[in-house]
Each structure stands twice: as C-alpha cells, then as structure tokens.
Amino acid sequence: MCLAIPARVIKINKNIAEIESLGVKKKIDISLLPEVKAGDFVIVHAGFAIQIIDSSEALITEGYWKEYFAETGDEYEEMFIAESPEKDDVQ
Amino acid sequence: MEKLQKTLDEINYLAANITAAGKCKKINIMEVCGTHTMSIARYGLAQLLPPGINLISGPGCPVCVTPAKEIDNIIGIIRKYKLTVFTFGDMIKVPGTFSSLSAEKMSGAEIKICYSPSDSVRFAEQNPKKKVMFVAIGFETTIPLTSVVIKDAFKKRLKNFFVFSTHKIIPPALDALLSDKNVKVNGLLLPGHVSAIIGLEPYGFIASKYKIPSVISGFGPEDILISIKMILEQLASGRPGIENSYTGVVKNDGNPYAFSMINEVFTPVDSEWRGLGNIPLSGMELKDIYSVFNARKSFPVKVDSLPEPAGCACGEILKGIKKPTGCRLFAVSCRPDNPVGPCMVSSEGTCAAYFKYLRRK
Amino acid sequence: MEPLNIKSSKAAGHSKYSENSSRSHGSGISISHGDGGFKTGELIEKTIGRFIKNSILDNFEDSATLMFGKHKVAFTTDSYVIDPVFFPGGDIGKLSICGTVNDLATAGAVPKYLSLSFILEEGFPLVSLEKIMESVRKTLAEAGTDLIIVTGDTKVVNKGSADKIYINTSGIGIIDEKVCLSPSRIASGDRIILTGSVADHGMAVLSARKEFDFKTGLKSDCAPLNKLMAECLLCSNNIHAARDATRGGIARALTELARSSGHDFHINENSISVKKEARALCDFLGMDPLYVANEGKMAIFVSECDAAKVLDTVRKNKYGKDASIIGTVEKKGKGNIILETGLGTKRILDLYYSEQLPRIC
C-alpha cells in the first residue's frame, strides 16, 4: 500500500502548501511536517505530505522518480500563464 | 540497465552461494506492501531473478485483509442510517458477504470516492445538515491523516462528522505471520511508506525474535532489486538485521510527529485480519476522548452475514502459502470483473496483480 | 465517453436501497458497464448483441463498411456523456464531432455527412449550448469544408433526468475502392504506429474535476484525425488497419485488434510516450496510463516496408508530431498483447476488467 509521489513545495499558507509534481500543482495538507519549507521535496500520500525527501540520495533522484527531480526551469511557469480552460457555467 | 545488471549479478552470485551452502533450498522473500506487489508484477522482476529466489506476496493490502463481515457492518450502517459516506476508491468494490459499496451506490446510497480524508471533513463542514461518515482504511501511512482530520473536526466542534475506522498496523501482523509454522519466509521486504512514518525500531523483533533479514525498500525496480540483494547479503553473512535502502524517504526514527498523531487519536485494539484471524492489538480504534466521532458507537447496527464463499483461498494467499494459481476459483469464477475475495478486487491485491500482469494464456 | 464517473449521477433515479438477497451485487447496469473494458464488451455481446446478430455487426468494428452498388460507405454512431462538459482542451461539442469523424477515419473513409442529436436537461444554460455549438462549428470546419451536419434531433427532459447534456452523432463517409482497412488484413511483420502520447484526455478531464483540485496545463488531445489518415493513405497502399484509442485507452484498442485479427502483438512499453503531467496525475491517483481514455490518438498497422514512410507522414501532421512505432505484429496466435518492459521483461497487456478508480494503496 502507500501510494505516494514526490512533489516540490512551492508556497505555504499555514497548514496548506501548494506543491508541484511534473507540472501538476495541487494544494495539500502539511500538518504532519511542521518543519517543511518552500523549496523542499516531500512525499505526498492522499493529499498530505508525510515526509521530507532527502534529494541527495541517488536512488531517489536517479531512479524510478528521476523525472520528478529533473531541473524544472521556466517551462512550468509558462504553462500556468497559458490560457486556462473555459469555465463551465453549469458547474 | 548497467547498474541493474550489476545488482542482478550480485543477486545471482549470492543466491547461488546461499543455496549451495545448504542454508535453504529456495530463498523465500516476502513483501507486505501492495505497491511492492504491483511494482514486482508490472516490471516482471521475478523474470530477472535466479530460480532459487521465490517472491511471495503477503498481507500488504489493507483492503485485502479487511474481513467480509466488516464490509457487511459498513453496509448495514449505510442501509439503516441516512448518511453521506466517503471512502477511498480501493474500498468501493470489495465484496462483503451479501453486497459491496459499489452495489449499494447503484441502489441509491450516497457514497463518494475521495482522494484525501480532508475531502470528507470539508464536505461535513459545508453541509451541516448532512451526517457524513468517512470509512477510514489503511496502515500507518494513512492513519496519521485520519488523526489530523479528526482533530480538525474536534477543534471545529463538528456534530455531523463520523469516522468508521478499519485502520490496522503492520508490526503485530508480521509477528503473527512469522510465528505461523506454515509460513516459510527467509527474508522480508518492508513497506517504504509505512516505514516513513514508523521508522526502523518497531521492526526490531523480526531480527531478534525470528532471526530473519529484512530491508525497507522503495518502489522502483532498482530499489526492489537492491533491497533483495541486501537481504541476501544478510542471509549469507548470517547476521540478520533491519536495514533501510529507502534512505531518501525513511529516516531511522521515521516521522515522530506523525507517529505521535496516531497515538494521540487512536488506541490499539484486537482486530480480525482476513486470512490471519484475530491479531491482538493490531487494529486502531478512536480513543474515548474522540468517541463522539466514532461511527461504530453512533450508528449501532446488527448485521447477519452470510457464510463466506467456499473455495476462496485469499487467506492462504495472503500468508504467502499459496499463489493465486493455487486457488481453484482464480480466473475461473473469481476474476476482476466478478471478484470473490478482496485479493482480486483490490487493484494491488495479489490475485489482481497476478491476473493483470503475470497470466500466461 | 469518459470512463470515470465518480459522482452519483443525478439521473440514477433510485431512492430505495436494494434487498439483502443477491450475492451477485445487483443485476442492473453498473457504471463499469460503460468503462470500455471487459464489462462493456460483455454487455454488448450478452445483453444487446444477441438480439440483433448479423454478419456486419459480427465484425465488431467502430464503423460498419457497407456496399451501395459499387460504392463503399462507412457508417458509424457514438454518444457523448462527459463530466465536466467543458474541459481543458475542448468540450462535449468538439468531442462529439471528433469521435465520430475518427471512427470514420479508421475505416479509411472520407467523412461526408453527420447527424447531431441532443438530450438536454431542463435548466441547462443557453449560453453553454451556444458555446458548444461554436465548438461544433469550428471542429467541422477543421475536419473539412465539405463535411456537413444534415440531420438532427433535440429532446429536453426534466431536471434530474439527465446530466446537463448528452450528444449523439452518427456519420457517413466514403471509402475509396482501393482502400480496405480491417483487422482481417493485419499481417505478421506489420509495424504498429501510435500517433502520439497517451492518457492526455482522461487525465485532463479528471484534473478539471473540482473534487480533485489539480492545476495543470495538460489538455485533452481531442482532435479530428481524418486528414492525418487521408495523408497516410495517400502515401502508402500497405496500411492494413487503424483504430482510435478512446475509452479503455490504448490497451483496449490494441486488445480488440489483436483478438479480431487473431495475431499476437509485441509492444515495446518504452516507446509509448506519456506526457509528464499525465504521468504525475496517474501517479497521484494510482492509474495506469495505458488504460486511460484518449480522443485524438490512433494506432495504425502498416507493412514493415512502408512503416518509416508512414511514420514520417504522421509526424508531419500537427496531431502526429510525437508519433512512434510501438510494436510489431507477430504470427497468428491467441491474440495476446505481449508487452516488453524497459527492463526487457515481458508481461501480457490485458483488457482492463474494471473501471479505474482513484486509489491510495
């Protein structure tokens, strides 16, 4: 069990952090990691960060999840400036 | 692939020496984490290992070890009381003895799949006239999340939020498993994310009491193969211990704060595990201070369960005694579209993984 | 059709709970009957198909190929129900044109005439309907100036009896006498070209759902592929078959063709591309990208001798830039898909037996 994926913490507002994984952003709960800060990589399980990742570990950054730790650069910023989806009036 | 080949060469060398030295004929390595089951099956890792190594899938899937009667209880509550129920997608199709949450949903029950327990408490806050029940399932990776959500409900004095806890913890189940004479395990792959919470210390008995090597492992193919190599090294040296190959995520003391959250909100109780029977102090129930949120207390119900289907070998499969192909229902009357036991229902159950990834026609 | 529907449909209309009697967990239509997996096939064959058997239907293709004197005509129909109605990269209007145009294209037909029918829920905003019609107009124009809608229908139902808007489109296309695309023409040695990345549509739609609250640039790949197909047919006479990968993912498309053709396929997993965002979303929710819906991707079967040329042609089209050869047709066998992983191990790619649900374990 324990489906969890790596994510980078972008910004924090009290116990909610906005994280980003491969260009996907989401707000998650960081109550379980009081010491986490923006820029940290965390493991996210069911909407919560459960541990800070030590990204000096080769098995993490060069293994199965290496895509998640590749340099992100400006490409993700551009992605969010791009046109957002049309609002569905009925939703 | 080169690094992998180097690890494979080392595995081959170690395995050959261990079996030649007569330490054991076959080296049985068990994993107890559904995500490991899936990874091993998805990457066909068993095909890369020498024939002397046998990979066994143990009770690592919280859905698979939930007894059918527990599902019956949940359904009994849903049928008797008008509730909005939240649970994880994993639970929706698990068969009880007479129905499943998916069938109840088809019949009109308000059952919602959530990605996070936070979704359920948020819904309760936004809909004060509705009674909301969160069916909480999972091991130590997930229990702290339910703790946070219950504490949040407590702080907000929510009157319409309830939790049905089917949470279970791993170490007592491992103890029960290893003490079973029918279960022959030479090494254990330990769950990476459970360990991220609890650290290494709770596993100490595996080496001290049972003298069995164990390694905490990540989920990629390299992680699993390196962990298998480390198990073999322990076997070869005759010095079993608890090692950690997932050091990027698992610290020696885990996440003490999250671990403390488990103990703050929950208390261990005896719990029934499908296939393993009753295991003392292996389930987690809400402490008295939070009993106002306890769905079992607020929604008492009496349910008459039907007898469980004959021939279902989930119990033995969960102990690693049988492989899915050893169950006479497998792929015949028990298939992902019509599962009999939870090992087939859960997408990471041993039988589901086997059916999806390993079947040879 | 979007395979994942985790909300209780307003149209369910059930208000009573089921009797505690059936172990088969209900004998009505379940949501998994619509997921494009095994259950869908079973429904079509056992409940629908057996009343209307004929040799054309037995071919079980997305489009029926009909003869009118010397003229070969393709005829197809499809219904569109999607939530949300407006999603990143498109809406139900665009989808309803692309889906039917693509079914005609995979038969090698030039789309000529479409029908357009609506079932509208009372209260659906006119402004939304106009936006949808604008999408319909734009997509028609892109697909071809001589493609027109020639007939249609509109029905309105009471609030709660439908989920906002349902669309059905049927289409007629002309097949050149020299063109014959059919699974029966698939031959050993054929190369399988996939026109681009998988899982874009399904994951883009899921990410737009409020309950998940994801922010991503991932857009649906919804696109009309008739011109791409026409360009391929112009450059090679050795294209044997094509199938668009919609619900059930590329896994379903390949499985259906393998079974219809009676050939085994060998697929290279590493050659199937998945966009980063799609991968992350699949990882978040525990889904397998090979089974996630697409709306602008095709698998094209072509003789080895023309494979490079056709691949080049596909890549020159804006909807085929990321195309790759993903596998080879083997000799006649059981119609299995043998997937080779990046590690060189093999597993069977099976038709997903159940709707994929978001999971935590």
Looking up residue A40, the CATH number of its domain turns out to be 2.30.30.140
Q: Is residue A86 included in any domain, yes or no?
A: no
Of the pLDDT bands very low, low, confident and very high (cuts 50, 70, 90), residue C52 is: confident
Return the amino acid letter for A87: K
> What is the spatial distance between Cα C156 and Cα C278, in angstroms, rounded to a whole number?
36
With a cut of 80, say whether residue B297 has pLDDT above it.
yes
A61 near C CB under 8 A: no
Closest residue by Cα to residue B118 from B88, B74, B140: B88
For residue B326, the 8-state DSSP code is G
Residues in B closer than 8 angstroms to A2, CB to CB, are 33, 35, 139, 141-142, 191-194, 196
Tell me how far CA of residue C307 lies from CA of C198, C249, C324, in angstroms: 20, 23, 10
Residues in C closer than 8 angstroms to B99, CB to CB, are 18, 20, 22, 25
Residues in C closer than 8 angstroms to B2, CB to CB, are none
Q: Is residue A88 included in any domain, yes or no?
A: no
For residue range A15-50, list pLDDT tens digits in order: 999 999 999 999 999 999 999 999 999 999 999 999
Q: Is residue A91 included in any domain, yes or no?
A: no
Closest residue by Cα to residue C235 from C311, C332, C333, C330: C311
Question: Residue C48 has which token pair?
Answer: 């629908």
Q: Is residue A25 included in any domain, yes or no?
A: yes
A30 near B CB under 8 A: no
Of the pLDDT bands very low, low, confident and very high (cuts 50, 70, 90), residue C7 is: very low
Q: Is residue A44 included in any domain, yes or no?
A: yes
Neighbours of chain A (3+ CB pairs under 8 A): B, C
pLDDT at A56: 87
How far does the CA of residue A60 sit from the closest CA of chain C (Å)? 16
Interface test with C, best of B3, B66, B80, B102 (most C CBs within 10 A): B102
With CB atoms and an 8 Å threshold, state whether B35 touches A2. yes
Does the bond joining C3 to the residue before it have cis omega, within 30 degrees of 0?
no
Q: Give the count of domains, chain A.
A: 1
Neighbours of chain B (3+ CB pairs under 8 A): A, C
Nearest CA in chain A to B58: A1
Lowest mean pLDDT among C6-15, C214-223, C315-324: C6-15
With a cut of 60, say whether residue C341 has pLDDT above it.
yes
pTM of the complete model: 0.89
Q: Is residue A84 included in any domain, yes or no?
A: no
Return the amino acid letter for B45: L
How far does the CA of residue A77 sit from the closest CA of chain B (Å)? 26
Nearest CA in chain C to B45: C345
Nearest CA in chain C to A45: C360
* Element spanning B12, H or E: helix B2-20
Structure ipTM over 0.90, yes or no? yes
With CB atoms and an 8 Å threshold, state whether C86 touches A88. yes
Nearest-10 Cα torsion for B337, B340, B346, B348? -100
For residue range C215-260, list pLDDT tens digits in order: 999 999 999 999 999 999 999 999 999 999 998 899 999 998 999 9
With a cut of 50, say whether residue B344 has pLDDT above it.
yes
Residues C302-325, mean pLDDT to the nearest whole number: 98
For B204, other C-beta atoms within 10 Å of its C-beta total: 12
Lowest mean pLDDT among B121-130, B212-221, B322-331, C89-98: B322-331
> What is the spatial distance between Cα B218 and Cα B234, in angstroms, rounded to a whole number?
18
Query: Residue ranges of the alpha helices (H) in C247-323?
Result: 249-261, 276-285, 304-316
pLDDT at C222: 97
With CB atoms and an 8 Å threshold, state whether C276 touches A79. no
Minimal Cβ distance to A23: which of C127, C213, C216: C216
> What is the spatial distance between Cα B212 and Cα B242, in angstroms, rounded to a whole number?
9
Of the pLDDT bands very low, low, confident and very high (cuts 50, 70, 90), residue B339 is: confident
Q: What are phi and psi of C119, to 5 degrees?
A: -120, 120
Of the pLDDT bands very low, low, confident and very high (cuts 50, 70, 90), residue B73 is: very high
Minimal Cβ distance to A51: which of B116, B138, B255: B255
For B272, other C-beta atoms within 10 Å of its C-beta total: 16
Angle at C182 between CA C178 and CA C184, to 5 degrees: 115
How far does the CA of residue C82 sit from the closest CA of chain B (Å)? 18
With a cut of 80, say whether residue C162 has pLDDT above it.
yes
- The domain in which residue A20 lies consists of 5-79
With a cut of 80, say whether residue B171 has pLDDT above it.
yes
For residue range B210-225, list pLDDT tens digits in order: 999 999 999 999 999 9
With CB atoms and an 8 Å threshold, state whether B44 touches C346. yes
Interface test with A, best of B145, B217, B228 (most A CBs within 10 A): B145
With a cut of 90, say whether residue B321 has pLDDT above it.
no
Of the pLDDT bands very low, low, confident and very high (cuts 50, 70, 90), residue C99 is: very high
Q: Is residue A58 included in any domain, yes or no?
A: yes
Mean pLDDT of chain B: 91
Q: Is residue A51 included in any domain, yes or no?
A: yes
pLDDT at A79: 42
Q: Do residues B73 and C1 lie in contact, with contact meaning Cβ atoms separated by under 8 Å?
A: no
Question: If DSSP codes are grouped into helix, strand and coil, which group holds residue C289?
Answer: helix
pLDDT at C37: 65
DSSP-assigned beta bridge partners for residue B269: B283
Nearest-10 Cα torsion for A7, B115, C249, C344? 50
